[in-house]
Amino acid sequence: MIRDYIRKELQAFKPYHAAFRPQKIKLDANESPFALSENVKNKLIQWISNEENIKLYPDTDSTELREAIASFWNVDVENVICGVGSDQLIDCIMKVFLEPGDRVVMPTPSFSMYGSTAILNHGVPIEVKLNENYTYPIDEIIKTCNLQNSKLLILCSPNNPTGNRLPNEQIEEIAQNVKCPILIDEAYGEFSDETMIPLIGKYSHIVVFRTFSKAYGLAGLRVGYGIGAKEIIDAIYLTKPPYNLSVLSQKIATWVLQDEKVNQERIEYLKTERENLIQELRKLPNIRVFDSDANFILIETQDLELSEKLEAREIFVRSFAASEGALLLRITVGNKEQNKILLDALKVLI
Ligand code: PMP
């Protein structure tokens, strides 16, 4: 039986599946509501019409894209690595630092891929519960990391799904007291007022991961990047598969990053929509609405069927079990039209 040969830890493992269906009001995966800008679309059409452009393997080091990222952040190209989404880089960093049985420390609730990727890489996820109001228990995080066999700490800021960021000052306090490598996942960093990227020169054991899937609207292309001191970037390179990013992904991500004015406008639009949506949601009875530094908003409700009721109206959000008798819904901030449809539905349902 094939089953008998499957690694023990994976026998109860559930690989990630999500129904793929085009949805009008899709607010469940924190994607951007914006399509490619005209500028990028025109470059793409011109580029793709040269059939020579896709017959060769891509640049395995994504040099042009890394140069664009380095110039954007004012760092050297050797401080940058690109992956097939930041998902791939999360996998790579675990492959670098974990021997079988090593611990990966992660405050929870957070992005579920940290735990599953740790298990796939023979590691052991160690969850440190966030405080009641989702702030971070700094001392406990430090204590847990300094236990033997803790080989990686992952801090998601702004955190998915709670939406709050971990202030730089607290990250620095952790970094100064923890020896193991620290991954700061800033997948939602463009929507926040703080980033650790300018501080990478100060801490050689910190790496920051970002993605083109959220603020830049390229979730379908799968492009993520890491920024850190040369030492930690070189380490992640040890496990990066060759030719990981397609030539198309490298090209489009480069053009999109250089489209700075459009990006800024779109980010500001979504931040304004986020604040409007929070204000409107707070007028509704029976729900708790959390602050957000990301492009999504977390709400807590006692109506355990609220997610299904929204789905019946073709509005898709992400739901999580909360404490007994409560449900957490993570709602992506969409465009004005989508947000209005969501609010109108909630007004009727709550
Ligand atoms: N980190 C966090 C916190 C995320 O929420 C996500 C996407 N859901 C990712 C990483 C992965 O992003 P990517 O599309 O770049 O793989």
DSSP conformation letters of 120-188: HTT-EEEEEEPPTTS---HHHHHHHHTSTTEEEEEEESSPTTT-----HHHHHHHHHH--S-EEEE-TT
Specify the pLDDT at position 179: 96
Specify the pLDDT at position 68: 98
Q: Is the CB of 91 under 6 A from ligand 1?
A: no
Residue type, 171: I
Specify the pLDDT at position 326: 94
pLDDT at 5 over 80: yes
DSSP conformation letters of 291-314: --SSSEEEEEES-TTHHHHHHTTT
Distance from the first to the final alpha carbon of the chain: 50
Q: Is the CB of 87 under 6 A from ligand 1?
A: yes
Q: Is the CB of 249 under 6 A from ligand 1?
A: no
Distance 346 CA to ligand 1 centre (A): 27
Residue-wise pLDDT for 122-140, tens only, equals 999 999 999 999 999 999 9
Q: Is 28 strand, coil or helix?
A: coil
Specify the pLDDT at position 322: 82
Radius of gyration of the chain (CA): 21
Backbone angles phi, psi at 205, to 5 degrees: -100, 10
pTM of the model: 0.97
pLDDT at 23 over 80: no
Specify the pLDDT at position 324: 83
Cα(329)–Cα(31) distance, integer angstroms:
16
**Which stretch of 21-30, 42-51, 264-273 has the lowest confidence by average pLDDT?**
21-30
CB 118 within 8 A of CB 125: yes
Residue-wise pLDDT for 170-219, tens only, equals 999 999 999 999 999 999 999 999 999 999 999 999 999 999 999 999 99
Distance 222 CA to ligand 1 centre (A): 10
